[in-house]
Amino acid sequence: MQNNQNNKAYKKSNFGGAFFFLPKKKKRALGVIYAFCRYADDIVDEGYQDAQARLVALRQEIEAVFSSKPTTALGQDLVEVLKDFKIPKKYFLDLIDGVETDLRPAVRFETFGDLKWYMYRVASIVGLMCIEIFGYTNEKTKEYAQTLGYAVQMTNIVRDAFEDAKINRIYLSKESLESLGIEEQEVLALKDSPKIEAVLFLALEKSQNYYNKAHKILPKEDFASLLAARAMGNIYEAILQKIQKSPCRFCAKKIKLSKLEKLRILLKTWRERP
């Protein structure tokens, strides 16, 4: 990964700015972690011919970061973050392994267990990184972060099902499709049907179950410190509920929340008590 190449692709994020209630140091750290995740994801989604080589270079840079010898702007920022927040190297490498899955010409998952492992690496890992920045005292909070990651990723899977099918990616397990008599070509044909709506509804139910579980297992002593995580979870849960009410779940139009809807959720989350 050459410095000039990486500096063009990597931009510091103001992602943490949305959470105005966090201290400056934590907002900055979240922005850097989000930028790392975004950069890794973009490598596989932007159609780079050398995507595999870029991921190899990113792995090498993570190794350099943990040796305090970064060679890129991203690496330098990560070194600064890691001075204050002890995020394991394995988390970074696991996330890279996860996004690498999407480099396959045809993205498929035989079982839900296979899909869950993918979701852990691309979503739950992000939550586990973030709680190291938010701070926590109860080890159970790791299970909360992992569970919330599953919930959010399942929501994204349903919301993006149409767009993913356009690029030969199906994030619904083969066993789930077969249980309703759906062939993968039916999904790739980009035509809505009662069977496809049914399998997406089942995915939404799984997602809601994960949200419900996350709400239940969040330790009370870490409730306040995870305000930002709870806010993000509540926003995605609201997206899930909006999808559930949509007349078409397998459609080209992507369901989103308005800025006002997000603001209301943030304020409601801020007022919540354990």
Same-domain status, 245 and 228:
yes
Are 88 and 198 members of one domain? no
Range of the domain at 51: 21-103
Amino acid identity at 112? F
Counting every residue written for the chain, the total comes to: 274
On whether the CB atoms of residues 137 and 221 are closer than 8 A, the answer is yes
Confirm if 254 and 163 have CB atoms less than 8 A apart. Answer: yes
- Between CA 18 and CA 9 the distance in angstroms is 22
Whether 122 and 249 map to the same domain: the answer is yes
Claim to verify: residue 65 and residue 126 sit in the same structural domain? no
Given a cut of 70, the residues of the chain with pLDDT beneath it are 1-20
Supply the pLDDT for residue 14. 39
Q: Measure the CA–CA gap between 187 and 197, rounded to whole angstroms.
A: 11
Boundary residue ending a domain (103, 124, 155):
103
The answer to whether position 220 is within a domain reads yes
Which residues are 214's β-sheet partners? none
> What does the pLDDT read at residue 21?
73
Confirm whether 210 is domain-assigned: yes
Same domain, 91 and 226: no
- Whether 160 and 66 map to the same domain: the answer is no
Same domain, 172 and 44: no
Answer yes or no: do 39 and 160 share one domain: no
pLDDT at position 17: 39
Distances (CA, A) of 184 to 42, 163, 188: 26, 15, 6
Decide if 142 is inside a domain. yes
Last residue of a domain, one of 78, 103, 128: 103
Query: What pLDDT does 274 receive?
Result: 87
- 194 lies in the same domain as 273: yes
Q: Report yes or no on 2 lying in a domain.
A: no
| Domain co-membership, 149 together with 228 | yes
Q: Is residue 8 part of a domain?
A: no
Residue 22: its pLDDT value, please? 83
123 and 65 within one domain:
no
Instruction: Look at residue 11 in the predicted model and tell me its pLDDT.
Output: 53
Total count of domains within the chain: 2
